[in-house]
Structure 1
Amino acid sequence: MREQAEKGWTYAKAGVDIAKEAAFIRALTYEGRGFASLVEIPGCDLMMAISTDGVGTKILVAAALQKWDTIGIDCVAMNVNDVLCVGANPVCFVDYIAAEHLDERVAAEMGRGLRRGVEMASVQWAGGETASLPEIVRGYDLSGTCVGVVKRDRVIHPRADVGDLIIGIPSCGIHCNGLTLARTVVQKAGFSLNDPFPMNTERTIGEELLTPTRIYMEILSFLDVCSDVHGLAHITGGGFLKLKRLSDRDEIGYDIYDPLPPQPIFEFLQECGRIETAEMFRTFNCGMGFAVAIPPSEEKTALKVLKDAKVVGEVVRRRGIWVRDTLL
């Protein structure tokens, strides 16, 4: 008999509390709010964009399957996509690997993924750091940093306003966020990561979860042709709550009235974990990995460049984020 959560699983119940993470960041007195920080480069009209992120507990899925060759793509993607959110062109990437024990086979496979990721993003892999930390780390942790550049007058500042359209670009699966909840749901429902994925039995559940994060390099082409972009958002931890970063105005909201279709993995997790719809959108990307805020006048131009994107909603005058009338 598969164990089911009586009231349904939440991210916090699985061990990750987004509200506590936000409070922790505030306690650091960190001044930034966006996806990447901008640093002035003296003597020129360029600014440097920098972002640091990791693959989180997705690496535990890689460990369970002993399949390490795609997790590096995720690491590059999480950082490159954040740098793109300020309009910057990603230039270089460095990795950080913390390990309990060093295994050359694991290193070779991780390296293949990292190499593939930087090739996909057209950035230079400028090295990194490997730390042996047997007293601190259990297994491995993988993170990285990406640096990009952008002309001062081309920086994308979050300024979405009432009437703007929200363009959604599809994800290719769960990406790198919500894996703690996903793994908990799979386990408590009586499945193994090595079991066939019920909605595609040619793959295991673990392989489905390991689908690499999409790298949204087409954003650069989009920025070349769209002159009036009001915000860019990488939909990561916190799911659709990341839409709040499209604007620095707290009095507006977002009505996602026609969301992109979620991949089967999300339906599977929601059913197995009895996860409420609002919690799904607060935790996972649910099929939308990147969002763009533009005025209606830019719609046709945007959709010509962003081939698989569509209008999913609009900025509204009421506060909050609504997905098909469900308040997140």
Structure 2
Amino acid sequence: MGEWTYKRAGVSIERAEDFVGYIKEKVKTLPHQALLFGSFASGVKLKSYKNPVLMLTTDGVGTKLKVAQAVGVHNTVGIDLVAMNVNDLLTTGAKPIAFLDYIATGKIDLKVMRELMDGIVEGCRLAEVALVGGETAEMPDFYPEGVYDLAGFCLGVCEEEELITGEDIRPEDVIIGFPSSGFHSNGYSLIRKVLEDRGISYHDKFEGRKVWEVLLEPTKIYLQEVQRLRSSRIKIKGMAHITGGGIPGNLVRILPEGLRAVVEKDKIPKNPVFDWIRELGKIQEEEMFRTFNMGVGFMVVVGKEDVPYALNTVPSSFVCGFVEEGRRYVDIA
């Protein structure tokens, strides 16, 4: 049988080293650089904070990766990976400052890995964070060849007194939404089953685009919108990233006891992708709102006196609900 080596067992240290070299060159293009990048640990400097609170998130991309792997397009899910973490972090009032990635695969394909990293670096650029490191694990016999999984981790910081918890939300406050770019990174297990059941290929067309192009539209990163609001005179009382669980499952997380949110669905701008998948799968409306963002990727709660300023500060934003007394719950009206 001959001598066994790590390479014969399916793990190539040379491929991994080539990929690390690519990453080191790629991160040099980012505006924010890490300390000790490529060492056993890395970090960033904290400047001008008096009572800093460190906030951390971790998330992945889910089965949207199966679409990317099926059509051989890998850069957009790298943006998704950053977006899912950064948007979660933004809800706390923290400024994202550092990101790490974890890539696990059966065999390192340098072309695929480079495309993934291109997307991750682009996401870091959009989110204005330093890519401080990560891990690429080549695991033959665990992942089939051509399959990979992604996880991300984000670090942010804010002054302790600036932490946004939702505890200041009161009756008559108003819910403002930021539009999503599409499905973002949730509901893909349902989407894939519906398309398979209806015999629809990723290469078929929907409104002039291939289905895979619609499905792989990257998750929007809401850094700029949140920064504009925070730098204005507006008091942000709570923020919610609309991910798995949809509007009801995420908005409720920031509501104090004794308060109920009413989301007015007719005020949400229509995105045709949601009607498309609903009709294809004969999906009930309640299930749609529990699974997808339905066109709202991010929600902000402000006092009613601040609504005109908020809408003017973020022109793409829209009023989509209000808060009232009642059982802690989100009602889609």
- For the criterion TM > 0.5, the same-fold answer is yes
CA deviations over 1:95-123 (Å, ceiling 9, x no partner): 00011221111011101111111111111
Q: CA deviation at 1:301?
A: 1.7
Larger Rg: 2
Matched, 1:303 2:311: yes
Number of aligned residues: 279
Matched, 1:273 2:263: no
Moved more, 159-168 or 285-294: 159-168
Q: Which of 159, 162, 168 does residue 154 from structure 1 map onto?
A: 162
- List alignment gaps of at least 5 residues for structure 1: 1-42
User: Equivalent residue for 2:236?
Assistant: 229
Give the Cα separation in 2 of the matches to 1:168 and 1:256.
10
Give the Cα separation in 1 of the matches to 2:86 and 2:205.
32
User: Equivalent residue for 2:58?
Assistant: 52
Q: Which of 207, 211, 215 does residue 213 from structure 2 map onto?
A: 207
RMSD (CA atoms): 1.6
CA deviations over 1:177-235 (Å, ceiling 9, x no partner): 111111111111111112112xx13x211110100000001202211214422100000
User: Equivalent residue for 2:183?
Assistant: 174
State whether residues 161 and 247 of structure 1, in contact with CA within 8 Å, keep that contact through their aligned partners in structure 2.
Answer: no
Task: Report the residue type matching 1:135 in the other structure.
Answer: D
Give the Cα separation in 2 of the matches to 1:92 and 1:315.
34
Matched, 1:253 2:282: no
Q: Which of 323, 326, 330 does residue 315 from structure 1 map onto?
A: 323
Task: Report the residue type matching 2:198 in the other structure.
Answer: A
State whether residues 87 and 220 of structure 1, in contact with CA within 8 Å, keep that contact through their aligned partners in structure 2.
Answer: no
Give 3-state SS (helix, strand or coil) of 1:213's partner: coil
Give the Cα separation in 2 of the matches to 1:108 and 1:89.
28
State whether residues 53 and 159 of structure 2, in contact with CA within 8 Å, keep that contact through their aligned partners in structure 1.
Answer: yes
User: Equivalent residue for 1:189?
Assistant: 198
State whether residues 167 and 309 of structure 1, in contact with CA within 8 Å, keep that contact through their aligned partners in structure 2.
Answer: yes
Task: Report the residue type matching 2:196 in the other structure.
Answer: Q
- List alignment gaps of at least 5 residues for structure 2: 1-48
Q: Which of 127, 134, 140 does residue 148 from structure 2 map onto?
A: 140
State whether residues 226 and 302 of structure 1, in contact with CA within 8 Å, keep that contact through their aligned partners in structure 2.
Answer: no
Give the Cα separation in 2 of the matches to 1:298 and 1:153.
21
Give 3-state SS (helix, strand or coil) of 2:55's partner: strand
State whether residues 246 and 293 of structure 1, in contact with CA within 8 Å, keep that contact through their aligned partners in structure 2.
Answer: no
Matched, 1:74 2:77: no
Matched, 1:282 2:290: yes
Give the Cα separation in 2 of the matches to 1:152 and 1:227.
19
User: Equivalent residue for 1:108?
Assistant: 114
- TM normalised by structure 2 equals 0.81
Q: CA deviation at 1:260?
A: 1.4
Q: CA deviation at 1:124?
A: 0.6
State whether residues 234 and 309 of structure 2, in contact with CA within 8 Å, keep that contact through their aligned partners in structure 1.
Answer: no
State whether residues 186 and 243 of structure 2, in contact with CA within 8 Å, keep that contact through their aligned partners in structure 1.
Answer: yes
Give 3-state SS (helix, strand or coil) of 1:79's partner: helix
Q: What are the equivalent positions in structure 2 for 1:118-129 lying under 5 Å apart?
A: 118-129=124-135
Give 3-state SS (helix, strand or coil) of 1:230's partner: strand
1:163–1:195 Cα change, 3 Å: same
Give the Cα separation in 2 of the matches to 1:232 and 1:226.
16
Give aligned-pair identity as a percent: 40
Q: CA deviation at 1:161?
A: 2.4
Give the Cα separation in 2 of the matches to 1:234 and 1:262.
19
User: Equivalent residue for 2:174?
Assistant: 165
Give 3-state SS (helix, strand or coil) of 2:231's partner: helix
Give the Cα separation in 1 of the matches to 2:326 and 2:73.
46
State whether residues 234 and 310 of structure 2, in contact with CA within 8 Å, keep that contact through their aligned partners in structure 1.
Answer: no
